Structure 1
Amino acid sequence: MSRWLHIPALADERSVLRTSITATLLIALLGVGFGLYSGSFSIVFDGVYSLIDAGMSLLSLLAVNLITAYASSKGLSRKLRERFSMGFWHLEPLILGLNGTLLASAALYALVTAVDSLLNGGRELQFGWAIGYASVTLLVCVLVAIVEARANRRIQSDFVRLDVQGWFMSAGITSALLLAFVLGHALQDTRWQWLTPYIDPAVLAVVCLLILPIPVAVVRKALSEILLITPPELKQHVDEVASAFVKKHGFLYHRAYVAKVGRSKEVELFFIVPADWPAMTIGQWDALREEIGALIGDEGPDRWITIMFTADPEWAE
């Protein structure tokens, strides 16, 4: 099974997202088409939900291309590099926040629609077509989710991680739809047939209630990064390393300012040295910067670190 799921083409973020977009568009078109034909608003919602997800995946792919081009200094125009001299990491939480907001809004609207339908007698639908759609869609969702999850063990991308969550969420939605449609089909021509018009809006309402917390959590995380809320774990790590560094070299104290924006870790460190500190060469100060940078770790294109030494505390406040 694992050998069958090994797909060498999914080597990086962009290839995974391109595959996801293609599969999502297929699911979206199937969902809207089958939903309208069978009379199931829950299937239409599933298709629209997938369509929104595909649009956000396209934006994610664009952001990934910009972030990668900036980090590698390749494929990025001079004008873009001059206008965005701080990089494109900020695009990641913006897109994730927009994605979560749109998906939460769609789920909330569908929930209101489902409740309205329940209060007005439900709706009839063709269970045979609905079962066929749900079966095919469930298979596609599970396969794509597993393949992407395996690929992301190596890639470690927040975009791909969110996309995997989206596919598993879609699989859960589709599983609920399939179960409800099978139940509705079984109730036909029985004394419980009067319940069948309520099955589609009822399952839609339940699904919406279950998935609403997921995009809300994504929005909360994105907002924390957009607002540059200090991540406690990163701040604690930097403070511990800097405190040991201060003690080792005889500085007075330090000030640390940290943030996490998308995949980037941004660290500003100020070390207050005694005013009568003996003169040192630029090379010696740079050696100290190299030392503290190595102790902080995570060196790479997504780490933005500034280290300053000063005898004036006002520079650090």
Structure 2
Amino acid sequence: MDLERKTLVVSAIIALLLAMWGIAMGVYTESGAIMLDGVFNLLSSVMAFIGIRIAYLTSQNYNERFPMGYFAFEPLMVMVKGISILVLVAFALSANLQTMLAGGREPQIGMMLVYVVPAVAGCLLAWYVCLRSNQKQASNLLLAEQQGWLINSVISGAIGVALIIVLLIQDSSIGWIARYVDQILVIVFSLVFLKDPYLLVKNGFKELLLSAPDDAHTKPFLAALNEQPLVDGFSIADAMVMKTGRRFWVTLELECQQSQLALSDLVQQRKQLRALANQFYENNYTEIVFVEPRALSEDTAS
């Protein structure tokens, strides 16, 4: 089992443990914020287990059913995870707004603080594991896990900070706020973190549509390509880069400036450009297409 799958297994197990802890404590304390945290962990656990299967599939060879491989499953899963988080946030907002308008709920401060410490520790541990693994083996799946754990760490930590503030003010003239602190936390967290699942959906959808990747993925390679000395008789006509999950698809069109070229020159030029692509993209498929000069093709067409 490679590093990516090992990390996803660890992430899934931690998420499942925290989900059981969060949902149990959420039911016991009747806290919407803790319940939201627990359900978010349950979602993370399910998606991590699915990610393990996808990581295995992407390591397999092509077949007749999937001639381009299984790489599109990665952005598909990232997009599904983003949509799931958005749906979860929508339900949380709806439920807590109703509770808030009904007069709030008296929180069990002590038990909620008991929940926070192991929750934050578990989230930070999972975030660090995913961060280290993603640095060693870049992966969309690990990046999505890393972002999810960071969000969860902040949510869990903020619950603790807010509850400490409530302890300090509950006997003061503004102590009535304590009845609404749980709903306020959920609403604020939901609104603050809408951006991250939106970006997951957006980026996953772009990759499924074979949209051009961000400039950070293409500019360094294209700059190096323009400076790359070519074998005599060839020039770059066009260059296209697409990204699906961890796989980069590079297509290079080369104009043949001479009517006849040796086969050895074609092979040498292909090897040279594929070696250049390998320097920038660890997982890539580079296709070299040799075309006749445009001027010649236009004359032939006319």
TM-score range, shorter chain: 0.7 to 0.9
Mind listing any 5+ residue stretches in structure 1 that lack a counterpart?
Answer: 1-9, 71-79
CA distance in 2, matches of 1:108, 1:116: 13
User: Contact (CA 8 Å) 2:249, 2:285: kept in 1 or not?
Assistant: yes
Query: How far apart are residue 240 of structure 1 and its match?
Result: 4.0
Number of residues of Structure 1 aligned to a counterpart in Structure 2: 294
Question: Deviation of residue 83 (structure 1)?
Answer: 0.9
- Aligned match of 2:287: 306
Cα offset, 1:306, TM superposition: 0.7
Corresponding letter in the other structure for 1:278:
Q
Moved more, 229-238 or 88-97: 229-238
Question: Are residue 65 (structure 1) and residue 56 (structure 2) matched?
Answer: yes
Alpha-carbon shift at residue 295 of structure 1 (Å): 2.4
Letter in 2 for 1:56: M
Structure 2: 5+ residue stretches without partners: 298-302
Equivalent position amino acid for 2:36 in 1:
F
Deviation at 1:193, TM superposition (A): 3.5
**1:69-84 alignment, distance < 5 Å:** 69-70=60-61, 81-84=63-66
Task: Letter of the 1:199 partner, please give it.
Answer: V
Change (3 A) 1:94 1:40: same
Q: Which secondary structure state, in structure 2, belongs to the residue aligned with residue 249 of structure 1? A: coil
Quote how far apart the aligned CAs of 1:246 are. Answer: 7.7
Aligned to 2:114: 132
Matched, 1:100 2:82: yes
Measure, in 2, the Cα distance between the counterparts of 1:308 and 1:48.
Answer: 50
1:57-91 CA distances to partner (integer Å, 9 max, x unpaired)? 11211110111233xxxxxxxxx722112111111
Given candidates 135, 143, 164, the residue that maps to 1:182 is 164
Q: 2:34 aligns with which of 24, 37, 43?
A: 43
**Are 2:155 and 1:173 aligned?**
yes
Is 1:217 the counterpart of 2:182? The answer is no
User: What is the root-mean-square deviation in Å for CA atoms of aligned residues?
Assistant: 2.4
Q: How far apart are 1:230 and its partner, in Å?
A: 1.4
How far did 1:238 drift?
4.8
Distance 1:285 1:251 in 2: 9
Taking the TM superposition and a 5 Å limit, the aligned residue runs for 1:85-164 are 85-164=67-146
Q: Distance in 1 between matches of 2:230 and 2:266?
A: 17
| Paired residue secondary structure (2:63) | helix
TM-score by length of 2: 0.88
In the aligned structure 1, how far is the partner of 2:217 from the partner of 2:166? Answer: 52
Question: What's the secondary structure of 2:260's corresponding residue?
Answer: coil
- Whole-angstrom CA distance in 2 between matches of 1:301 and 1:150: 18
CA contact (8 A) 1:21 1:58 kept: yes
Question: How far apart in 2 are the matches of 1:271 and 1:111?
Answer: 55
CA distance in 2 between partners of 1:302 and 1:52 (Å): 29
Paired position in structure 2 for 1:287: 268
In structure 2, give the amino acid aligned to 1:163. E
Select between 227-236 and 43-52 the one with higher mean Cα deviation: 227-236
Distance between the aligned counterparts of 1:191 and 1:246, measured in 2? 76
Report the CA distance between 1:108 and its aligned residue: 2.7
The amino acid that maps onto 2:39 is: V
Q: What amino acid is the match of 1:260?
A: K
The residue identity in structure 2 corresponding to 1:267 is: V
C-alpha change, 1:152 and 1:251, in structure 2 (3 Å) is: closer
What's the % identity of the aligned pairs? 26
Equivalent position amino acid for 1:130 in 2: M
Contact 2:233 2:261 in 1 (8 A): no
Post-superposition offset of 1:220: 1.6
Q: Which moved more, 1:292-301 or 1:219-228?
A: 292-301
Structure 2: how far apart are the matches of 1:235 and 1:146?
A: 28
